[in-house]
Chain A
Amino acid sequence: AQSVTQPDIHITVSEGASLELRCNYSYGATPYLFWYVQSPGQGLQLLLKYFSGDTLVQGIKGFEAEFKRSQSSFNLRKPSVHWSDAAEYFCAVALLTNRDDKIIFGKGTRLHILP
């Protein structure tokens, strides 16, 4: 069955440090991939998406993600985090088969920022 795994439930980094959030998926074909961010008390906002082409994708707020087919991964990165990046981050995989046309979300990684 298709699945999305975010192995880290919580991550803590210092302000100004680099960040990498991991995402692995299980899907037979090349999926469409998304990263969303949820600030406290808010809905989800799209950070970036990958459909095809260049495997390094740039998003909003200085984030980027790299699709690695061989590792079935789509990790999110930021070179220098800001206190305002403290939020929960969700990786998502879109399915498009004869039976399904929906998005599966990972369980999320909560990012804490140390001053």
Chain B
Amino acid sequence: DVKVTQSSRYLVKRTGEKVFLECVQDMDHENMFWYRQDPGLGLRLIYFSYDVKMKEKGDIPEGYSVSREKKERFSLILESASTNQTSMYLCASSPLPSSSYEQYFGPGTRLTVT
């Protein structure tokens, strides 16, 4: 059974902290994605990666960075967390090309920045 796991389901951080969200997939997929989900705004793409050490900006990359050192792992980094980054964060993976395949999602991390 395919699986995408995220390191935390719930996370509470303080403003200014550096935050790491980890995502691991066991399907040998080339593509990995980070989205944030907010009520009324749906899913918005933050960053994606189609290969190890490769990254591409999505629609809302400001305030975020990513790291992909291994094929199965894709990390989202908030360099200095702010309250407007309180959100649900979803990781997904898919084979290439991403438009031709479904994306497999993790359960999400609900991040609260106080």
Point out residues on A near B: beta carbons under 8 Å. 9, 32, 34, 36, 41-46, 49, 51, 90, 94-96, 101-103, 105-108
Are A106 and B98 interface neighbours, CB within 8 A? no
Are B99 and A107 interface neighbours, CB within 8 A? no
Residue of A nearest to B42 (CB): A107
Are B102 and A49 interface neighbours, CB within 8 A? yes
A105 contacts across to B, CB distance below 8 A = 42-43
A100 to B107, CA, bound (A): 26
Are B108 and A42 interface neighbours, CB within 8 A? yes
A9 to B43, CA, bound (A): 14
B45 contacts across to A, CB distance below 8 A = 102
Contact (A103, B103) CB under 8 Å given A43-B4, A90-B43, A96-B97:
yes
Looking at chain B's contact residues, the main secondary structure is: mixed
Are A95 and B99 interface neighbours, CB within 8 A? yes
Q: How many residues of chain B have a CB within 8 Å of chain A?
A: 20
B4 contacts across to A, CB distance below 8 A = 43
Are B40 and A102 interface neighbours, CB within 8 A? no
Point out residues on B near A: beta carbons under 8 Å. 4, 40-43, 45, 48, 58, 90, 92, 97-100, 102-103, 105-108
Are A9 and B40 interface neighbours, CB within 8 A? yes
A8 to B99, CA, bound (A): 25
A46 contacts across to B, CB distance below 8 A = 102-103
Residue of B nearest to A110 (CB): B39
Identify B105's interface contact among A44, A51, A94, CB under 8 A.
A44
A107 to B42, CA, bound (A): 4
Contact (A101, B99) CB under 8 Å given A43-B4, A44-B90, A90-B43:
yes
A108 contacts across to B, CB distance below 8 A = 42
A9 to B42, CA, bound (A): 10
Chain A nearest CB: distance from B34 CB in Å? 13
A41 to B107, CA, bound (A): 7
B100 contacts across to A, CB distance below 8 A = 32, 51, 94, 96
Are A102 and B107 interface neighbours, CB within 8 A? no
